[in-house]
Amino acid sequence: MTSTTSLGQLPSPLLSMLIESFIDSIRWSNRSISTVLSYRHDLISFLKHQEAPNDFTLEQFTVDALEDYFLQKSECVKPATLARYQSSLRSFCKKQRPPSA
């Protein structure tokens, strides 16, 4: 599948690799093409919302950063769209957690 939304210079190479790995994993988990593209869009949108998106790291995916983003988005999108943004970012963050011992 060819991406219709390029990460371009966003974000760091490691974070770009993690995002693409996440997108690949949902692509192969019976998600529709629309869902895959929406999740990619949602992650890029979150990164672009940050003060320094090119320097954003995985460690900066904090509760504060997410809450700030969701608060801003809640003012300009429908509740269903906000729920999808939350689902996209929640799924990405869960995927990045180390496995339990």
What pLDDT score was predicted for residue 100? Answer: 66
Tens-binned pLDDT, residue by residue, of the chain (101 aa): 444 445 555 567 778 888 899 999 999 998 999 999 999 999 988 988 887 777 787 888 889 999 999 999 999 999 999 999 999 999 998 888 776 65
Tell me the three state secondary structure of residue 60.
Answer: helix
Give the pTM.
0.78
**Measured distance CA(96)–CA(58) in Å, rounded:** 8
Q: Which two tokens stand for residue 45?
A: 């949108």
**pLDDT, position 8:** 52
- Helices 63-74 and 79-96 sit at what angle, rounded to 10 degrees? 160
Q: Give the pLDDT of residue 69.
A: 93
Residue whose structure tokens are 């869960």: 94
Helices (H), 1-101: 13-27, 33-49, 63-74, 79-96
Q: What is the pLDDT of residue 80?
A: 95
